[in-house]
């Protein structure tokens, strides 16, 4: 399952993501991972969450989606107990705009989710009204 929370800056996406992370941790069915750019969530999330600062792993050095796909695959290969991966501000992490590559990445997440039984929640800072159909089906 993939869920996208999309909207312009200041529309409450991160607040919604934080609430979803907290609810997920309270259910406690597995490990929860949050990937973000910057340390803005460090004091907002429960300690049980594995918070990953994208800059610590060089995400900005690889402005494409192949790096993040490999990173997520490696995370899961090292920990089969991961049940949910949250990605805050996807476009800031990969340094791109909404484009065909973004849609391909979301489709990859859906495929990964089905194969590995991992849920994804992803925030995207862009106008949801102009989102391509490939992203809208995940709102």
DSSP 56-115: GGTGGGS-SHHHHHHHHHHHHHH-TTEEEEEESSHHHHHT--SSHHHHHHHHHHHHHHHH
Mean pLDDT across 92-109: 94
pLDDT, residue 25, reads: 94
Which pLDDT score, from 0 to 100, does residue 57 have? 92
> End-to-end CA distance of the chain, in Å?
11
Distances in Å between the alpha carbon of 120 and those of 2, 36, 61?
Answer: 5, 13, 23
The predicted pLDDT at position 26 comes to 93
pTM: 0.95
Examine the pLDDT at 28 and tell me if it is beyond 80.
no
If you average pLDDT over residues 110-116, what whole number do you get?
A: 98
Give me the phi and psi of 4, to 5 degrees please.
-110, 130
pLDDT reported for residue 60: 78
Write the CATH number for 124. Answer: 3.40.50.300
Residue 47: phi and psi, rounded to 5, are -65, -20
Q: Domain of residue 99: give its range.
A: 2-136
pLDDT score, position 75? 97
Number of domains comprising the chain: 1
Element (H, E) at 10: none
CA–CA dist 71, 6 (Å, integer): 23
- Given a cut of 90, whether residue 73 has pLDDT beyond it is yes
Residue 61: which pLDDT band, with cuts at 50, 70 and 90?
confident
């Amino acid at each position: 399952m993939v869920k996208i929370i999309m909207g312009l800056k200041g529309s409450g996406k991160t607040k919604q993501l934080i609430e979803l992370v907290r609810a997920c941790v309270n259910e406690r069915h597995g490990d929860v991972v949050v990937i973000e750019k910057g340390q803005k969530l460090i004091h907002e999330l429960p300690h049980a969450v594995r918070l990953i600062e994208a800059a610590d792993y060089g995400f900005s050095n690889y402005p494409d989606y192949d790096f993040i796909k490999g990173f997520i695959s490696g995370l899961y290969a090292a920990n089969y107990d991961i049940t949910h991966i949250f990605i805050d501000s996807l476009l800031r992490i990969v340094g791109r705009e909404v484009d065909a590559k973004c849609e391909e990445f979301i489709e990859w997440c859906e495929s990964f989710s089905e194969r590995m039984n991992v849920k994804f929640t992803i925030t995207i800072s862009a106008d949801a009204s102009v989102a391509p159909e490939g992203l809208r089906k995940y709102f």
